Structure 1
C-alpha cells in the first residue's frame, strides 16, 4: 500500500497547488481590474484638466496648451486607441499587465516610471501618478484664483484701486502743471495756455489716463466683463486735484516772494 499512499499524497499536493493557483489567478485578476480602473480614472481627470486649461487660455486670450510630445519611455499610441478613455493607455476590456501598467506614468504625463526613483510595481507607479495629478489640480486652482485678480494692486478693493489710480494720474498732471507754471514764469508759455491746460486740459488728460489704466491693468485675466472704473469719481478727483494744486502753487509763490 506504500505506492497508494504516495499516489494519494501526490494527488493532495497537486490539488493544493491547483487551489493555490486559482486563488492567485483570482487575486491577479482583481489587481488588474483595480489598476485598469485607476488608469481610466486618471485619464478622465487628465482630460478634464486639459479641457479646463483650454477654457482658461481662451478666456485669458492666451495660446492653447499644445499636446505633450510622447516621451522616450511612453508607449506608442498612448491615449490614441479607438474607444479608450481619454488619456488612458489601456483600451477598455483589456487586462492591465505589469508591463503595460508601468506605462501609466507616461499616461499621467509624469514619466514617473523612468526617472523619479519609483520602482516597477504598477500599483506604486499608479499611486505616484495619482499624487502628481492631485498636485496639478491644486496648482491649477491656485493659478485660477490668481487669475481672478487684476495685475494692478491685486489685493485692493475695486474702489480703493480706482481712487489710487486717479489720484496718481492727478498727481502726474499736477507735476506737469508745475512745469507749465515755471515755463510761464520765463515766458515760454503764455497765461491763456496755462489757464486752459490747468482748468481743463490736464484734468481731462489725467482722467482719461486713469480710466485707460484701470481698463488695461485693473481687469483680471479671467474677467468676462469690464471692471468698474468709477468714471464720475475719477473725473471729480482729477477736476479738483489739478486746479487745487495750481492754486496752492500760486499761494506758495506769493508767500515766497
Structure 2
C-alpha cells in the first residue's frame, strides 16, 4: 500500500470517528434536554401539590406554616470543612480498590516520601451516589434519569394520597354514606325522640294529676319541639357539613323540614304518653 492510500485510509477513519463523536454529542444534548424538561415538569407538579396542600390546610384549620419541618439529613461531623464527605469508620480496613498513593516530595533525607493517601475507594467525592440518602433508603442513585423517575413515582403517590384526602374531606363526619336529606331526617327524628324522653320523665315525675297537667303540656308541646329543632340544627351544622364544602353547596340543615318533624313528633308522642297514662290508671 502506497503512502497516499494509507493517508486516505487515515482520513476516512478520522472522518468516521468525527461523525461518531458528533452523534454522541447530539445524543448527550438530547438527553440533557429531556432531563431538563422532566425537571421542569416535576417542578410544576410539586408547586401545584404545594398549593393544594395549602388549601387543604386552610380548610381544616391547620396552615402549612405551622407544620414542623422534617429533621435534616445526617451530614458531616461538626468541625468538618464545607467539602468534607463522611468516610468509613476508623475501625474499617481498606476496601476493594483502595491502595496506598505515593506523595512525591522531598523527605528529611532528600528522598521521596511515600504515604497513604486517598485512593479510588477511600470515600472521595463520588457524585450523588456518594451522599447519604434519607433514613432507611440509603444512598441516592447516581443516574439522573433514575433519580427523576423515582421523584416522578413519589409525586404520583403524593397525588393519589392528596386525592384520597380531598375525597374524605368532602364527606361529612356524621353518616358520610347517607344523602343530605336522609341525614337531616335522621338527625331531626333522633333529636325529637330524645326530647320525647325528657317529656316522659317530666310527665312521670310531675306531682300534678294527669287531668291537670297544663304546665307540663305547655312545655311539652312548645318548649321541647323548639329545643329539639335547635339541637338538630347544631348537630347538622357541626357534624353534618363536610370540611371542604363548595360555596354553591347547600348547608344541608333543611330548616322547614326539621321544624315540621320536631313540631309533629314531640307533641304526638306526648299525646301518646297521656293516652297510655289514662289507660293505665
Q: Per-residue CA shift, 1:201-221, capped at 9, x if unaligned?
A: 111100000011111111111
| Separation of aligned partners in 1, 2:40 and 2:69 | 19
Q: Does 1:125 align with 2:126?
A: no
Query: Distance between the aligned counterparts of 2:142 and 2:237, measured in 1?
Result: 54
1:68 is displaced (CA, Å) by 4.9
Whether the aligned pair in 2 keeps the contact of 1:162 and 1:214 (CA below 8 Å) is yes
Q: Partner of 2:34 in structure 1?
A: 34
Structure with the higher helix share, 1 or 2: 1
Offset of residue 196 of structure 1: 2.5
In 2, Cα distance between equivalents of 1:151 and 1:248: 34
| 1:21 aligned onto 2:21 | yes
CA distance in 2, matches of 1:2, 1:72: 67
Instruction: Output one character per residue of 1:117-162: Cα deviation in whole Å (capped at 9) or x when no partner.
Output: 9743221221121122122222222322222222211222221111
The corresponding residue for 1:229 is: 253
User: CA offset at residue 15 of structure 1?
Assistant: 4.4
Aligned to 2:73: 72
Given that residues 170 and 242 in structure 2 are in contact (C-alpha distance below 8 angstroms), is that contact kept between their aligned partners in structure 1? yes
| Structure 1 stretch displaced more, 13-22 or 33-42 | 13-22
Change (3 A) 1:70 1:3: farther
Write out per-residue CA displacement over residues 145-194 of structure 1, whole angstroms, 9 at most, x where no aligned residue.
2222222112222211111110000010011111112211599xx93442
Instruction: Report the Cα distance in structure 2 between the residues aligned to 1:28 and 1:70, rounded to whole angstroms.
Output: 37
Deviation at 1:69, TM superposition (A): 4.8
**Higher Cα Rg: structure 1 or 2?**
2
Gaps of 5+ in 1: 77-97, 104-110
SS in 1 for 2:174: coil
Partner of 1:106: none
- 1:234 Cα deviation from its structure 2 partner: 0.9
- The answer on whether the counterparts of 1:112 and 1:128 sit within 8 Å (CA) in structure 2 is no
Are positions 1:164 and 2:186 aligned together?
Answer: yes
How far, CA to CA, are the matches of 2:197 and 2:180 in structure 1? 26
TM-score w.r.t. length of structure 2: 0.67
Alpha-carbon separation, structure 2, partners of 1:134 and 1:112: 19
Structure 1 SS opposite 2:64: coil
- Matched ranges for 1:94-105 at <5 A: 99=127
Aligned: 1:252 with 2:271? no
